[in-house]
Amino acid sequence: MKTQCKAVVIGGGIAGCSTLYHLTQEGWTDVVLVERNELTSGTTWHSAAQVTNFGMTQTMVGLKSHSIALYKELAEDTDYPINYHYADGGIRLANTEAQMDGYRQFASMARGMGVEFEVIDAAECARRHPLISTDNLLGGLWDPLDGDIDPAQLCQALARRSRKAGAEVYRDTPVTGLTQKRDDSWIVHTENGDISCEVVVNAGGYRVNEVGAMMGVQHPVTSMEHQYFLTEEIPAIRDADHRMPLLRCPISDYYCRQEKQGLLVGFYEQSCKTWGMDGIDPNFVNALCPDDLDRVTDVLEGAFARMPALMETGIHTVVNGPITYTIDGAPLVGPIPGKRNAYCIIGLRAGVGEGGGHGWLLAQQIVHGEACYDTWVIDPRRFTGHATVELTALKAIEDYQNEFRFHFPHEHRPAGRPMKTTPLTPVLAAEGASFAVVNGWERLDYIKPTADFQETHGFRFNETFDVIAGEVATVQNAVGLTEVNGFNRIELTGRDVHDFLDRMICGHVTRKTGRVGLGYLLNHHGCLKSEATIANLPDGSVWYGSAAASEFHDRDWLISHIRDEEDVRIKTLTNDWTILVLAGPKSRDVLSAVSRDDWSKEAFPWLRVRPTTIGIAPAMVMSVSFSGELAYEIQVPNAHLYAAYLALRQAGEAHGMRLFGTRAVESMRMEKGYLHWKADILTEFDPYETGLERFVKLNKGDFIGRTELIARKEAEERKKRVILRIDARNAPAHAGASVMQNGFVVGTVTSGDWGHRVGANLAYAFVDRSVLSNSDGLTVDILGTAFAAVLETTPLYDPDNLLVRS
């Protein structure tokens, strides 16, 4: 066994085998996989092994497309073919118009990735799958490339190719410990000896937290028991002249696919069970949980109703085994928070079907720093300190119970809530607040007009439309107040802080005390990494502020780039302070009523920061705006938050102040051309493509990504972010919707909403550069209908920023 190599992958299931193989494809051949038993001896061997192209985001569609292409290539390898039922086709059923709208949206989204789905009616569903009933059925989504694969053969094929490329696989080699050395390299201790390596990868399957504990990490991953059974022969399948398509049924919570001349039928029952939370038997290898078909009786009845042939056949085999889940159902693939040179590929509940793509994207991150797609939807750092074992279990149960029911826009499910709150959460609830969840925080979404107000979730405009319009009108004409909790706040101190930030940010970094600036951080490919507000406080410290979800992401990025000789110290303030936003033309009047300082335009202009007192509460005030109106961000220590809120509420009564929420902010920022991190600010694009060239200063000296950015600037830009005004009043353009011209996809929407101040349906999209010179015939596919779109060259609301400076 080697004692030194480039990387060690821990775990021999689909996650580990795929990572090992793709590392060799990216040029790292001095790599090793260690497995405590045999390959696939954890969850992989008993996987239902469905291989679908369906994904909730374009990144997921892209990685699944890679899996399908890779598996097809492996199956066609004459030297080592594997069993892969490619392109049997599959149907996701629906019995509500809201679900059908979701399928139309997903078809539009996938088209931008070169994947074609088809939305079909109930009769066509039955024609393509003659075993199903059309009772209580509206239609479905057809995936022409759906299929299934032999999981053991797949992993052996990947391991074989890895070995041929130079990698080594050590079976029966349990890992007993992990030690990180001072240079951030690792020693992997095993029962068969130690291996020193630069990079370690946790691909531990349901033993993920046993491996995590060796490096002092608790991953938000838990396992659920999952049952399926194999039927005896079904005559209709035996006599058919084609393989039956796969079926996924959110109506009755089951799925099925052909297995020999019968069916494999799996269940997502409501009375589901977690597994292994109190530890896993070391001898649980190639093993299963006890059968418990009584638990799935209700689901089975629905399956019988949808597929009567099931009542006429027997059960051949029952399988009940653990599968892993995360808090939001998506895997954790990427850097491990708080660790250097450590990665994970875990929580793959549909591991075999999409594992080829996950390993592909992870290998790119390890070798090149970034993948070809923005991978935030699977990034382990998207969960922060709130990701406890208990929360993970509650969300895993909820997700399991809703396996085939996708999240609707603005839908925040109840399990594990509230997790993160401030002293104002119950106060706002008493005011009628409806809350959204942002990185675990309960954040004000909108104020319900009546106590019994209920929102109908879907992809179209709903009952909240007029509610949001009213909140926007208050901010535009008077003054509004909202709480923004969880905003990522890092305090930077030390003599080299500004030099450090100048190296991290691609544009001008203000050094003047009391000034606030916006900056963008690039990765080593010259593309966008983060967006940050930089505030120079009077005491000499600097506040770095960014999106709530970026807390671990930005912290790790900053810490990893502090040089040994630099005097830069970092302290996280995220959980200690909360922002109260005061916005609208009368916001200065309200602020002046609660503070003795001079808040005139001359004394406190745009982009300034100063300490003050709000009533009796200490605070730090910044004159910045995300609404496009005159606004102030009032940063308050949580211990004083309620006092500041009371003072502002009392002072606001004389000026018609009302509460507003994130939905109103979303509408207003669209009108102003303001961007959201990881919606419109993506690692796939540079500042020029994103329309942020005014924040780039190439002549200021060196900064991270500068050389690569210059090369990208000199090359022909691939895409350009634009603003679109769409001729549609029924629904917004959702992220991923395809922008079309002359029958071809020319772009993809990143954000969309109704602009209440300008009375227009707006969207941001990255489009081909040819659209800039000729936008004739431009349309956006919204829920299956092509709506005309007009290219706007400037933001529609106050493009000269007169209001924020007023």
- CA nearest to 146, candidates 103, 93, 90, 107: 90
Q: Within 13 A of 193's CA, how many CA atoms are on the CB side?
A: 8
The pLDDT value given to residue 11: 98
Burial class (CB in 10 A: 0-12, 13-18, 19+), 162: buried
* Alpha carbon distance 516, 508 (integer Å): 11
* Alpha carbon distance 381, 740 (integer Å): 34
Tokens of 628: 């496009």
Ordered DSSP codes for 249-317: ETTTTEEEEEETTEEEEEE--SS--EESTT---TT-SS--PPP-GGGGHHHHHHHHHH-GGGGGS-EEE
Which of the residues in the chain have pLDDT under 50? none
The pLDDT value given to residue 689: 97
The pLDDT value given to residue 190: 98
The pLDDT value given to residue 301: 94
The pLDDT value given to residue 718: 85
Q: Cα dist. 85→76, 77, 151, 383, 803 in Å? A: 12, 15, 12, 36, 61
DSSP-derived 3-state class of residue 461? coil
The model's pTM: 0.97
Q: Under the phi-then-psi rule, with left for phi > 0, alpha for psi from -120 to 50, and beta for the rest, what region is 771?
A: alpha
